[in-house]
Each structure stands twice: as structure tokens, then as C-alpha cells.
Structure 1
Amino acid sequence: MAKKITMADGRTIEVECLSCAITSGLIEPAGGTIIETENFHAHQDVAYPVPGLVIVASKRHIHCLDELTESELIECINLVQAIRKAQRDELGIEYVYYFYNEDTTHHFHLWMVPRYEWMNEFGRSVESLRPVLLHARNKMNNKENLDKVFKNIDLLRNALKNYKR
């Protein structure tokens, strides 16, 4: 059953699964694809404008980590490691929180959320992630910050262009 979704850039789309639409290329995420491999697609959800935030989504419609094949699992961890190295080397990101949830309305995707000084007011645990993301969405959706988000997307894309797929 198709759902209407309003994207961060204001576009309204109607899809059954947002992740499937993005990973198949039906919908281009704002800022574009950071990197794409045989089984995974990485992009930033600019609805949460945290510079350097990356979402790694499986192209296959699954919900749980244990549904990945062995080769997909190896591909995923190698891709996440390459993205993490690019975050550190290109963007100077020292720490990242990783999370995924299995009760999502979309399919398997791993969030890589950078840790910045401004986030300290929300705490330093996984519990701080929701308030951090809401703060970014509600208070950081301005031209200056979005320019930085898009610049970081380009930096990551360029750093990963020679990644062995």
C-alpha cells in the first residue's frame, strides 16, 4: 500500500517503501547518492541536517541484520568501514554513533551519526540521539548548515569514488 511522504526538500512522493524507492534510483535523495555498491546504497537524510550523517541501506528489502547473506554482511561492513574512514579523514569526525532498528516502516538501514561538540547539551549516550536529531531537524534547517551538509556529501562522495565495489 502506497504512502504519501514529504521529503526534506519539500517534494511529496507516494511509495510503498521509501528505502526501496531510494535504493532502486526511483527517488534521488537530496544531495544525491554518496556511494552505491551491488547490495547497498549510502546517502544522507537531509531531514536531519547533521553534517556527515550517512545512512547505509540494503537494496534488498529485508528488515533485520540476520537476514543478510554472508557476502552481503561482508560487503556491508567493508562499506561502513570505508565510509567511516572518509568521515574521519575528509570531515574530521572523531566519533560516530551507529544504530538501526528492526521495527522500521522501511527496510534495513544503518545510521552513522557523527558526534559534535554542540550535541553535549543532550548527553553523551545513545539516548541523546533522538533529541539531537530533532534539534537538527527543527533548529538547523538553515542555508548555512544545509550548505555544509551538501558540501560534506560531496566530500564523502569524492573520497569514496575509488572504493572497490
Structure 2
Amino acid sequence: MREITLSNGKTVAVECLSCAITNGLIEIDGGVIVETEYFHAHQDVAYPIKGLVILASKRHIKCLDELNEEEMIDYINLLSKIRKAQREVLGIEHVYYFYNEDTTHHFHTWMVPRYEWMNEFGRSVESVRPVLLHARNELNNGENVNRVIEGIDALREELNK
């Protein structure tokens, strides 16, 4: 078991944070955006950027090539639907996608929107980490978190029609 401090300050003891989230053992701030048989989408509100989505597999795997055929189809379909909702509902024109295989969690993809205010950090993959840290350290206030929650609600409504 590992102790992890969540964005809301609560500490939890889990073997795998992603498993705990996708199985509903931990309720994340803002709740589930959309869920299928194989995947779970939510926002990591530790990085309060409106429209940032984490799409996580429910099955405990580490790599994209471990997805079975049904999971692959579900993954690309859900990823596309989330991206369409980000554009149509939240007006997000550009998104960076990340997934890594050396994580302590299991397979998940980060969908990080690109906003105009982020340009001060550059316009490349190297800018994403400073953007996330800026959001966590400077935008973790009531007003911005409320905008993030509004974004979560808007995406949830669109994706669960």
C-alpha cells in the first residue's frame, strides 16, 4: 500500500490510485465525466485547467499494446468523443495528449487543453509541465476551481446524452 495525498488534501492508502478511482473506491473532485465498460474519464483537479481530462483503463494494464480489441475500439471512440466535446462545449481548439508506460498507475491518457494564457510558457511539449505546475500553484483558487467544475459538468452532460 502507498499513501497518496489527493488534490483536496485527503490522504488515502491504496495499491493503485487508478484502480481505486476507476473502481469507485475513491471519489475524485468533480466526479466521473464519462464511463464505459472499459474506461473511466475524470479530471485531475490538482491541475485546475478547465477541460483537462484523464482517460483511464479500468483493467490494470501498463501499455497501449496490452489493450484487447474491444478495449482498443472503445478507447479510440471515447477519446474522439471527449475531444469533440472539448471543442464543441468548451471551445478548446488544441489539446496535448500524453501517456507513459513507466508510471506507478496503470494505463491512462492525459488530454491537456491549450489556452492562450499558456503561451507565456512556450508552445511545445516542454511547456506542458510548467503549465501544469503553474495551474496547481497559482490557479488553485475558488473562482478558478469553480470554472473547472463547470467544465466537468458541461463535458459530463454532453458525453452522457
Could you say which TM-score interval applies, normalised by the shorter chain?
over 0.9
Structure 2 alignment gaps of length 5 or more: none
TM-score norm. by structure 1 comes to: 0.96
Match of 2:45 in 1: 46
Q: Which runs of 4+ in 1 moved over 2 A?
A: none
- The answer for the alignment partner of 1:122 in structure 2 is 121
Q: Distance in 1 between matches of 2:104 and 2:50?
A: 25
- Take 1:86 and 1:11, find their aligned partners in 2: how far apart are those partners? 30
- Give the equivalent residue in structure 1 for 2:55: 56
1:61 is aligned with what amino acid?
A: H
The aligned amino acid for 2:153 is: D
* Aligned twin of 1:139: 138
Post-superposition offset of 1:11: 1.1
Deviations 1:75-111 (A, max 9, x none): 0000010001110110000100001111001000000
Quick one: percent identity of the two aligned structures?
71
Between the aligned partners of 2:70 and 2:58, the Cα distance in structure 1 is 14
Opposite residue 41 of structure 1, the aligned amino acid is H
RMSD between superposed Cα atoms in Å: 0.5
Structure 1 unaligned blocks of 5 or more: none
- Please tell me the residue identity of whatever aligns with 1:18: L
**Cα shift readout 1:104-155 (whole Å, capped 9, x = no counterpart):** 0100000000000111011111111111101100110001100000000000
Matched, 1:87 2:94: no
